[in-house]
Amino acid sequence: MENINAKRRTFLKQGCIGAGLLLSQPVFASITSKNLNVKKASLYLAHNVNFATQTELNLYIPIALKNEFQKPYNIKVNGNYKTYTLNDRRNIHFLQALWENKSHSNNNIEVSFDVDISPIKDVINIKESEISLESESNILIGESLYKVANNLSGKFHNQESLAKSLFIWVAHNLHTKEAQYVDGIRSLFSKDGDMLLRGQNLSASSVFVELCKLVGIPAIEAFGIIVDNDGYNFIANERQNYTRSVIKIGNKWIPNDIILAIEAKKSHKPKVIENAFKEWGNNWVLLNFARSVEVDSTYLSTFNIAYGEVNGIKLSSYNANHFSQKIFA
């Protein structure tokens, strides 16, 4: 049996992925208009929580991150909450809603917003003071991934060439289906059957990020939702969850899309693989860099996770039939 090495991070003790309510409804998002430079997408979220003995309920709902290539606007909120606030903290944009006392048969909130999305190439602005570059505490790294890092790290004299070699290795050694983001705990394997990672909410982006960290290249995962596949059928599940990555070469943070590169390898499109190393298309909505940030006790990783507390107890501690959720456009 292959040895596994666990990387641990202790600064985030209360908010691991999945600590909040994991909701399994399909995710839908749509493009309302597009051109070569800017696409306009619309999204809709609805949450319902029903408790007989609730005195206080807090819900934290992730919203599209605001940055130089993505502009959420026209945010509308409806429901029977007492108050809500929109918050920007440590690279996470989220809505916090509060219900007090038991005044309704159910507690509901609906959120909709539009977002303008531009492509980004070569460099992305990252607030380094607001992220952690340590390896995710709940990801187990397989021995085979250490071997890949050791084998490649001594063959290149600059970080960009090394990072490209790691990117190409992942593109050539993961099947398309294995590369996709999947909710929950799983092991992620190479085409040869070697266990690369085990953990929660993994994808090929997780593999590339951990490989980069193993050779000393700063890297973070980016979580979001595909809103337009641009002609590539790389969404293996109907939920549209999608991840990308950002790596630091010199003083620049470079955007990468390894899942697109894997699909392009399957389709024999080397130019797409080359471009995917240094750019993000404008076909997704970025939510956050949740493996690398902490917001109070709230860890928001994907659009289909709402973290909440009822009377100070996490929603995930209760039976799931108390909750329902829809996200679509």
Q: Using DSSP bridges, classify how beta strands 56-63 and 305-310 pair: parallel, antiparallel or unpaired.
A: antiparallel
Q: Is residue 116 within 8 Å of residue 284, measured between CB atoms?
A: no
Least confident of 6-20, 90-104, 156-170, 207-221: 6-20
308 compared with 192, residue with greater pLDDT: 192
What's the alpha-carbon Rg for the chain, to the nearest Å?
A: 20
d(CA 291, CA 223): 9
- C-alpha separations of 15 from 19, 126, 213, 253, 292 in Å: 6, 22, 22, 26, 12
Helix, coil or strand: residue 215? coil
d(CA 225, CA 219): 20
Instruction: Identify the band that residue 244 occupies on the pLDDT scale cut at 50, 70 and 90.
Output: very high
d(CA 174, CA 171): 6
The predicted model scores a pTM of 0.80
Categorise residue 231: left if φ over 0, alpha if ψ from -120 to 50, beta otherwise: left
Q: Is residue 185 within 8 Å of residue 166, measured between CB atoms?
A: no
Give per-residue pLDDT as tens, 108-136. 888 889 999 999 999 999 888 777 777 66
Give per-residue pLDDT as tens, 153-164. 989 989 999 999
pLDDT of residue 29: 57
The one-letter amino acid code at 4 reads I
13 compared with 205, residue with greater pLDDT: 205
pLDDT at 233 over 50: no
Helices 258-266 and 204-214, interaxial angle, to 10°?
120
- The domains found in the chain, sorted by start residue, are 21-117+294-328 (2.60.40.2250), 120-287 (3.10.620)
Helix, coil or strand: residue 239? coil
Helices 159-173 and 204-214, interaxial angle, to 10°?
150
> In this structure, how many other beta carbons lie within 10 angstroms of the beta carbon of residue 35?
8
pLDDT at 300 over 80: no
d(CA 310, CA 304): 19
Least confident of 1-5, 86-90, 174-178, 310-314: 1-5
- Give burial (CB, 10 Å; 0-12/13-18/19+) of 240: buried
d(CA 297, CA 84): 18
Ranges of beta strands (E only) in 235-312 are: 241-249, 252-256, 279-280, 284-288, 305-310
